[in-house]
Chains A and B, each alone.
Chain A
Amino acid sequence: MRPSRQQTPSQTVGPYLHIALPWADGAYAVPAGTPGAIWLRGRLTDGNGDPVPDGLVETWQADPDGRFDHPDDPRGAVPAANGFRGFGRCPTGPDGEYAILTLKPGAVSGQAPHVDISVFARGLLDRVVTRLYFADEAEANAADPVLRNLPTDADRATLVAERTEDGYRLDIRLQGDHETVFFAL
């Protein structure tokens, strides 16, 4: 029998994450030029409404068919097609903006199409986790168990990205007015 071990606690990513974590291809969950690709964009702000210029946004999501290239998807892993990686990683710029190029995910087993988001930054002792939903999926969003579980429409609205010219936009507000809903995993 294996001895159980206690988990390693989180520590902040700190202000020097740029030495290691940004990748040249990080923002590209699909290669540039992929047909149907969309940009997920938004601004990360703090409790004063100021941009967070030294954060990191990571995304994880299903493919357009709602499947994952992962052995723990009990429906079977679906090898990634067309360079789709499901994962994006983008440091925030001086204006707090992030941008990830991806494909819109399909519905996942009774849940509306969504993207899981992790935010890391100096001043965050652990990552914070949120979700991005799509404004043009109103019917699916209305039936989504995670959205339905939130207390108010205002809470739900913090997770719904608006359509833009080249994709969708969702601002992430760490604290204060219109604070984003964050999840405990």
Chain B
Amino acid sequence: MTDLVLPRYRTDETANVPLLYPDYKSTRSRSPGKPLVLLPHQLTEVTGPLFGEDRVRPGDSDLTGAPGGEAIGQRIIVHGRVLDSDGRAVPDALLEVWQANAGGRYLHANGEWPTPLDPNFTGLGRAVTDSLGRYRFVTIKPGAYPWGNHHNAWRPAHIHFSLFGRAFTQRLVTQMYFPDDPLFAYDPIWNSIPDERARQRLVSRFDLAATEPNWALAFEFDIVLRGSDATPFEAEVDDE
């Protein structure tokens, strides 16, 4: 018997989202019907894949450039920090982002609606945080787009973010929105988050200081992953 000292990852209940949210129709047949079973954090949960520069090529953080020319739309800088809930920076962490083009069209077989594709925009970006947890993308502002959830349903403009953090417990896929979007009130995905303040954490902040004159507007979006207790606890586990 050996006691392993493991970090313990905290839960922030304000950030919880329900798996069943009937206004978002697809949740009706895809959300588990039985209650989730609590899984105590052991080694598999407090570790995780550590991806960084090995998954990123030069230029991956600039979505606006293609061999054929520049993407059409409002050029923007999206930047921020990846932190944990203790305020600690998460360095060397991979971010994967994807988004619609300026007209609200995804480069995807299921994304078809009467608005054009942009041959110079794939909508895929990757970046790695620096030693202070900072990241930065250059892209174009995505457009809103219609979807089939209900009559005249439109998604607010957003950018998808996927992060691993440093542990299986920290894995996060989310969406970043833009300030003052008139579609928030009508979007069941946005409104599925019960806590209004938690919803606001998904809204980027217009950042005049980070804009580049005569070139690009800027938005700041910090992403906060689960933090771990600063004082590790003694776990009673058998070592085979």
A contact residues vs B (CB 8 Å cutoff): 2-21, 23, 46-48, 50, 52, 54, 58, 60-62, 66, 68-70, 72-75, 85-87, 107-111, 114, 116, 118, 120-129, 131, 145-146, 149-150, 174-176, 179-185
Interface residues of B in 42-87 (CB under 8 A from A): 42-50, 55, 83-87
Return the contact of B85 from the options A5, A23, A70, A150 (Cβ within 8 A): A5
Closest residue on chain A to residue B96 by CB atoms: A20
Set of chain B residues within 8 Å of A17, measured between Cβ atoms: 98, 160
- B223 on the interface (CB 8 Å rule)? yes
- B41 on the interface (CB 8 Å rule)? yes
Q: Which size bracket describes the interface of B in this complex?
A: 35 or more
When A and B form their complex, which 6 residue pairs have the shortest distance between CB atoms, in order from nearest? A123-B26, A110-B238, A2-B87, A123-B30, A183-B39, A20-B98
Closest residue on chain A to residue B110 by CB atoms: A15
Chain A nearest CB from B230 CB (Å) reads 10
Return the contact of B189 from the options A6, A11, A74, A108 (Cβ within 8 A): A11
B contact residues vs A (CB 8 Å cutoff): 2, 4-7, 9, 12, 14-19, 21, 24-34, 36-50, 55, 83-88, 96-98, 100, 106-108, 110-111, 122-126, 160, 162, 166-169, 171-175, 189, 192-193, 195, 197-199, 201-202, 222-227, 237-240
| Total cross-chain contacts (CB, 8 A) | 243
Q: Assuming the A-B contacts A75-B4, A109-B4, are A10 and B17 also in contact, with contact meaning beta carbons closer than 8 angstroms in the complex? A: yes
Q: Assuming the A-B contacts A127-B171, A185-B45, are A8 and B31 also in contact, with contact meaning beta carbons closer than 8 angstroms in the complex? A: no
Set of chain B residues within 8 Å of A150, measured between Cβ atoms: 37
Chain B nearest CB from A94 CB (Å) reads 11
Judging by beta carbons under 8 Å apart, are A14 and B38 in contact? no
Chain B nearest CB from A98 CB (Å) reads 15
Judging by beta carbons under 8 Å apart, are B173 and A10 in contact? yes
Judging by beta carbons under 8 Å apart, are B83 and A20 in contact? no
Judging by beta carbons under 8 Å apart, are B6 and A74 in contact? yes
Judging by beta carbons under 8 Å apart, are B34 and A179 in contact? yes
Return the contact of B86 from the options A4, A10, A86, A181 (Cβ within 8 A): A4
Q: Main secondary structure on chain A at its contact with chain B? A: loop
Judging by beta carbons under 8 Å apart, are A8 and B223 in contact? yes
Judging by beta carbons under 8 Å apart, are B87 and A184 in contact? no
Set of chain A residues within 8 Å of B14, measured between Cβ atoms: 6-7
Set of chain B residues within 8 Å of A75, measured between Cβ atoms: 4
Would you give 18 A-B contacts (Cβ < 8 Å), ordered by A?
Answer: A5-B85, A5-B86, A6-B198, A11-B17, A13-B173, A15-B110, A19-B124, A21-B162, A73-B43, A120-B173, A122-B26, A124-B30, A125-B19, A125-B21, A145-B40, A180-B32, A181-B37, A183-B38
Judging by beta carbons under 8 Å apart, are A175 and B29 in contact? yes
Set of chain B residues within 8 Å of A58, measured between Cβ atoms: 171
Return the contact of A19 from the options B44, B108, B166 (Cβ within 8 A): B108
Judging by beta carbons under 8 Å apart, are A62 and B168 in contact? no
Chain B nearest CB from A124 CB (Å) reads 6
Chain A nearest CB from B125 CB (Å) reads 8
Judging by beta carbons under 8 Å apart, are B37 and A182 in contact? yes
Q: Assuming the A-B contacts A3-B87, A109-B42, A185-B45, are A10 and B174 also in contact, with contact meaning beta carbons closer than 8 angstroms in the complex? A: yes
- Complex formed: what's the CA distance from A129 to B29 in Å? 17
Judging by beta carbons under 8 Å apart, are B199 and A19 in contact? no
